[in-house]
A and B are shown apart, each in its own frame.
Chain A
Amino acid sequence: MVMENWGIKNKKGQLKIQQMAFMLIAVTFLFALVGIFFLAINLYNLQKTATGLEEDNALLLVSKLANSPEFSCGNSFGGSRSNCIDFEKLIVLQGMISKYQNFWGVAKIQIRKIYPEDETLCTSGNYPNCGIIKLLDKNVNSTAFTSNFVSLCRKDLSDNAIYDKCELAVLMVAGEDKG
Chain B
Amino acid sequence: MKNILEKFCSKNKKGQDQKIRNFSLLPNKFGQEEIIGFVVIVVIVSVIILVLLSFILTNTDENVVESYEVESFIQSMLQYTTSCENQLEFLSYQKLIAYCENEGVCLDGENSCEILDSTTREIIQVGWNINEQSPIKGYEFKISTEEKELFFAEEGNKTTNYKGSFQDFARSGEKYIVSLTIYE
Contacts and interface: CB of A to CB of B under 8 A. Distances in A.
Interface of A: 1, 4, 8, 12, 15-16, 19, 23, 26, 30, 34, 37, 41, 45, 59, 63, 66, 81-84, 114-115, 117, 147-151, 153, 158, 163-169
Contact of B76 (A41, A59, A149, A158): A149
B122 interface: yes
A60 B65 CA distance: 15
Contact of A30 (B31, B42, B53): B42
A34 B56 CA distance: 16
Question: Per DSSP, are chain B's interface residues mostly helix, strand or loop, or mixed?
Answer: helix
Given A26-B38, A34-B49, A168 B68 contact: no
Range of interface residues on B (Cβ < 8 Å): 20 to 34
B72 A167 contact: no
A165 B127 contact: no
Contacts of A150: 72, 76
B12 interface: yes
Interface string B25-67: 0010001001000100110010001000100100000000010
A63 B72 contact: yes
B96 to A, nearest CB: 12
A34 B27 contact: no
Contacts of B73: 149
Contacts of B166: none
B147 interface: no
B56 A168 contact: no
